[in-house]
Homo-oligomer: A and B are copies of this chain.
Amino acid sequence: MEQQTALRGVIAPVLTPFTPDLRPDAARLVKLCRWLIAKDTGLAVFGTTSEANSLSVAEKMTLLDAMIEAGLPPQRMMPGTGCSALTDTVELTRFVVRHGCGGVLMLPPFYYKGVTDDGLYASYSEVIERVGDARLRIYLYHIPQVSQVPLSPALIERLLAAYPGTIAGIKDSSGDWNSVRTLLEQFAPRGFAVYPGSETLLLAAMRGGGAGCISAQANVNPEANVRLYQTWQQPDADAQQAALIVLRTELLKFPMIPALKAVVAHGARDDAWATVRPPLVSLTAGQRAALVSALPAGYAPPAF
């Protein structure tokens, strides 16, 4: 059974631009989102790559309002709504659902460590009950190297049993193929959408019944990612996958989020894009020059 959703495919955890005084820059965000939508890429705004956990709930709501007002399609949006505080997660999730977004990407509460599956179940359950909206579609967000709060298959099983219409899928950003494969085998046959959180696993995930991928690289290379998603059964799929990995390797020579922003700044000829919010730090001019000069032949940075 294949789940019908407007969110299958390649989804970008959209970078958040900032003004020089570190306010979120809605106009630049809308511009990037329009370009991504035109490239057939979904919008996972407010993800890790979006520096979302450096933004207040109110800042995120203001940005989402601007995106909707600009005519961007909410059914192609999967905003991150999982905050550290229960009440923040509820407030933001409710807001996103009322805007008609296709789904939400939900981190577990991420401050306390070593919490139990009972505690995580209670967290998700409490949010679902409080939001109380049949339109809610939750994509769980497993990114243990950052959140330090992993989501186990046993927890997913329990959530699916209790909320089968609401628990729609998972983004697995562990980078561990065995983890993605386990999720695909155990849950994908039931229509549960499994997205690896890295484009390095896009082809393998598609071969295993995955729904696409939600990957930072989609911000700066949407066409190649979407092409692999659409043509993964073609003879050149492995070569396409290899090309995505070459770009990723260059990006990962630097901290990923500042590196992606530097590539956008370069491609869009707009230095404002290089700004990040603390605790992140922008690339130095030297780092940026090194990154730009090492970009693979044939790769074209965003130009919008």
Cross-chain contact B279 with A123 (CB below 8 angstroms): yes
Stretch at the interface among A35-43, A109-117, A195-203, A243-251: A109-117
Cross-chain contact A109 with B278 (CB below 8 angstroms): yes
Known: A146-B111, A278-B109, A279-B109. A87 touches B123 (CB 8 A): no
CA of A278 to CA of B278, assembled, Å: 28
CA of A110 to CA of B149, assembled, Å: 13
Known: A87-B59, A113-B146. A278 touches B54 (CB 8 A): no
Chain B contacts for A56, CB-based, 8 A: 57, 85, 87-88, 91
The answer to whether the Cβ of A108 comes within 8 Å of any Cβ in the partner chain is: yes
Cross-chain contact A119 with B278 (CB below 8 angstroms): yes
Cross-chain contact A115 with B22 (CB below 8 angstroms): no
Chain B contacts for A231, CB-based, 8 A: none
The answer to whether the Cβ of A84 comes within 8 Å of any Cβ in the partner chain is: yes
Q: How close is A16's CB to chain B, nearest CB, in angstroms?
A: 12
Interface set, chain A 44-63, CB cutoff 8 A to B:
48, 53-59
CA of A13 to CA of B147, assembled, Å: 24
Residue on B with the closest CB to A124?
B278
Q: How close is A287's CB to chain B, nearest CB, in angstroms?
A: 13
Cross-chain contact B281 with A116 (CB below 8 angstroms): yes
Cross-chain contact B55 with A85 (CB below 8 angstroms): yes
How many chain A residues touch B (CB < 8 A): the figure is 40
The answer to whether the Cβ of A122 comes within 8 Å of any Cβ in the partner chain is: yes
Cross-chain contact A109 with B54 (CB below 8 angstroms): yes
The answer to whether the Cβ of A179 comes within 8 Å of any Cβ in the partner chain is: no
Interface set, chain A 1-60, CB cutoff 8 A to B:
22, 48, 53-59
Residue on B with the closest CB to A122?
B278
The answer to whether the Cβ of A156 comes within 8 Å of any Cβ in the partner chain is: no
Interface set, chain A 264-286, CB cutoff 8 A to B:
277-281
CA of A149 to CA of B145, assembled, Å: 13
The answer to whether the Cβ of A126 comes within 8 Å of any Cβ in the partner chain is: yes
- Report which of B109, B123, B149, B279 forms a contact with A120, defined as CB distance below 8 A: B279
Residue on B with the closest CB to A115?
B279
Residue on B with the closest CB to A116?
B281
Chain B contacts for A59, CB-based, 8 A: 85, 87
Chain B contacts for A69, CB-based, 8 A: none
Chain B contacts for A281, CB-based, 8 A: 115-116, 118-119, 122
**Could you list 13 further interchain pairs (A-B, Cβ under 8 angstroms) beyond the known A109-B278, A112-B280, A123-B279?**
A48-B112, A53-B111, A55-B85, A56-B88, A58-B87, A59-B85, A108-B279, A110-B111, A113-B145, A113-B146, A115-B281, A116-B281, A122-B278
A-B contact pairs, 25 of them (CB 8 A): A53-B84, A53-B85, A54-B112, A55-B85, A55-B87, A56-B57, A56-B87, A56-B88, A56-B91, A83-B84, A86-B277, A86-B278, A108-B279, A109-B278, A109-B279, A110-B111, A111-B146, A111-B147, A112-B280, A113-B145, A115-B279, A115-B280, A119-B281, A126-B278, A148-B148
